[in-house]
Amino acid sequence: MTSGRKSLPSSSKSSGNNSLKRKSKSLSNSTIPDSKKQKTVVEFFKPLKSKENSTSSSPSQEQEQNPDDTQSQIEVSPSSIIETPTSSLPLHPFFQKKKKKATIDCNAIVPVVEVPKFDADQLGVIENDSAKYLVVQAPPGGGKTLVLTFRAKKIIETNPNACLLLVTFSRDATREIQERLQKYGVEKRYDVKTIHAFALSICRKYGAKGKTYISTKESIIKEMKEQLEKKNVTLTETVEKYVDWAQDEYAREVSANEFATSDYKAALTIYEEIAKSMLTLSSLMREACYILTSNHQGSRDFYQQHYSDVLIDEFQDTSTVQYKFMKMIIGEKTRFSVFGDPHQAIYSFLGAQEKIFDKIMEDFPSATILKLRRNYRSMKSIVLASNRFMKTSTENSIETDSQDAITLNNFSTRDGEFQYIANQIQILNNKGVSYNDIAILMRRSTNTSELESILKNKKIPISKNAKDDTRVMLNLMKLICDGVEIKDEKFTKSMKWIIKHFIYFKGIGEKSFEKYLQYLKDQETPSTKVPTKGKAPKKDKLEKFIRFFTVINELAAGLANTTFLKLAETIQKKFNWDDPLIIDGLGLNDELVTSDLIDSLISFNDETYNNSSDGKGIHICTVHRAKGREWKHVFVPEVQDGVMPLIKKSDPIQLKKQQIVHEGEEDRIFYVAITRAKEWLYLTNNSSSNSSTFIERLKPHETKQ
């Protein structure tokens, strides 16, 4: 421990798929609150006629969920569907009750994991062995990530010399793929990483001095302030705002020379200088690309020889610099398979572009294009409406439909609109719909707080971000590196966060921790004995705190020359925390643990974490955050020009900018929003004079007689 710091007490004591059938239901039209403000209810979305009082027939085949499109259904029977809940992780060993030893029947049959059923298109991708370069395009709910996973499984099983790199754009997808490969017993001849984690691992292994870990945002802001002061430059906005903007522009390879003299030019110029000496999240890809392009220390040769196959998920999210980076991994003998949907390319502000599919075909003209054509997620009327909007021809696999599959409600005020959404959610919940099956997707987060306030007043629970076990691990390491000082406010704040998120402290809250701190101050020689007087937590909680800090102190004392992976493994072992995926994907080799390294990893983790929900309420998020997910009931508010699409038609300058920089982007954002719905889609707006141009494109065209 660092000298001068008080160590907390140590002690010698130590602590020990059911399938759900989807039914075709019809929600009755309920009275809309704030009826005076409601203007019209448009009923032009006419679903195809279904059999009277029909329900889904028992499906003959069942498909496992797609990790990219959560709970998406893959099946062969076109008139039925099986809904498979996401499997939950087993109870943590620390909290499992001890059971009496049971005799094991050696003759018992070992259960076999059932392999999902695939349609002909999906099997064509999985079993294709003739194409060296494969480009797979799939619609929403098409099961592309599931198919990618089983293609990887097939390659490993049929090629004993194969070594695969699977690249994703989200940590959630990374974990899902890893868990599936483990579930089906695939031999560990693969790496599954987000593209940022893979780039970071290259920078750590081959990067220049000072560029082997991500600088924190705080350190970048500090450096920019110092540079501004040296250059005697004053910005009109906060430095934090310009840093955020500069990071995005730098990641898109925009040069400061493209701007006239302005605050933005000055900020981006300084940021470019900072990126020369510091590794930032936005400079990460460019730095890794430079290392491979220059073949620094034989880096490019190593990866091209090491990986026989490269598989990339959500390829439409690939930016120009990321594409250059991944191209460097493809050697003469390397095979690749990319999966994506050009109609879901909605990250142009990060440099991604829809035409990336044209680019890869230009660079690899011999590539084979295969398409998945069926949507296993949404009701027929939703699939047909999205087809009309985007001029696609996706086939639907759910023949049953709801009378209210798509509705549009117009209001004269935003309050009336949000009140309607809240009341409709209450009606759905009273009819037995779980809050977790409902989502509200916003084009922008500006009015989210207003909506949340209305929901809270009606006591509607809102789902929060799920706990991030990787962040828990990093915070434990931070506590070990920095030492413990009970009078330090940062220590108290950090411990409260750990208690809230670390499964070891399940059932213990902040009050117990505050009692423990007070107990330490009252005891000259703290022990596990509970005093007869004074404030102290209960004995079991007291012992748990003492054991926790005993472990922390022991690890801190032996921190010298300890590698990151070794420390992580020791922490997991000490706390019976058995989850090998907690630290996977951070791009680490055998770096020695330092406080700076942990700060860097915390910053990197926070920037790239996907904010999965805890599933304890309705979901409110932007359309960008909703990508790759799905819900039974989806509300899309403010479907009006100026919000969705975001650029106003009356503003020619902004319209021109949209056409040049974000051509078709707003269309794709709305397409992603409406295709998140499985059973019901509710569109609302609060503008009578400026309704969205998108609505007309959803309407079915009547056949002329």
Binding residues are 138-145
Helix axes 489-501, 469-482, angle to 10 degrees: 150
Which of 469, 499, 486 has its CA nearest to residue 171? 469
Which stretches does DSSP call E strand in 368-472?
Answer: 368-371, 374-375, 395-396, 406-411, 438-442
What is the C-alpha to C-alpha distance for residues 140 and 629, in angstroms, rounded to an integer? 10
Match 């220059």 to its residue by tokens. Answer: 294
Which residue type, as a one-letter code, is found at position 219?
Answer: S
Is 474 in contact with 598 (CB distance < 8 Å)?
yes
Match 């809240």 to its residue by tokens. Answer: 422
Looking at residue 637, what DSSP letter applies?
-
The two tokens of residue 493 are 């704040």
Q: What residues contact residue 288 under an 8 Å CB cut-off, 6+ apart?
A: 198, 199, 200, 202, 203, 325
The two tokens of residue 184 are 């089906």
| 3-state DSSP helix/strand/coil % of the chain, to nearest 5 | 40, 10, 45
Distance (Å) of CA 337 to CA 129, 177, 397, 498 = 11, 15, 25, 40
The separation between the first and the last C-alpha atoms of the chain, rounded to the nearest angstrom, is: 86
Pairing of strands 406-411, 38-42: antiparallel
With helix as H, strand as E and coil as C, how does 221-270 read? Answer: HHHHHHHHHHCCCCCCCCHHHHHHHHHHHHHCCCCHHHCCCCHHHHHHHH
What is the C-alpha to C-alpha distance for residues 698 and 574, in angstroms, rounded to an integer? 57
Which residue type, as a one-letter code, is found at position 389?
Answer: F
Which of 417, 475, 494, 400 has its CA nearest to residue 451? 417
Which of 662, 673, 663 has its CA nearest to residue 639? 673
Match 């009755």 to its residue by tokens. Answer: 28
Q: At 111, is the secondary structure helix, strand, or coil?
A: coil
Is 594 in contact with 478 (CB distance < 8 Å)?
no
Residues tagged in the binding site annotation for ATP? 138-145
> Residues 207-231, buried b or exposed e (16+ Cβ, 10 A)?
beeebbbbbbbebbbebbeebbeee
Q: At 502, is the secondary structure helix, strand, or coil?
A: coil
What is the C-alpha to C-alpha distance for residues 178 and 28, in angstroms, rounded to an integer? 43
Q: At 167, is the secondary structure helix, strand, or coil?
A: strand
Q: Give 624's Cβ-side CA count (13 Å radius).
A: 13
Looking at residue 71, what DSSP letter applies?
T
What is the C-alpha to C-alpha distance for residues 214 and 210, in angstroms, rounded to an integer? 9
The two tokens of residue 442 are 């916003």
Match 């040769």 to its residue by tokens. Answer: 301
What is the C-alpha to C-alpha distance for residues 406 and 43, in angstroms, rounded to an integer? 9
Nearest 5°: the CA angle 82, 88, 91 is 150
Q: At 623, is the secondary structure helix, strand, or coil?
A: helix
Where would I find the H helices in 252-379? 263-277, 284-293, 299-306, 320-327, 356-363
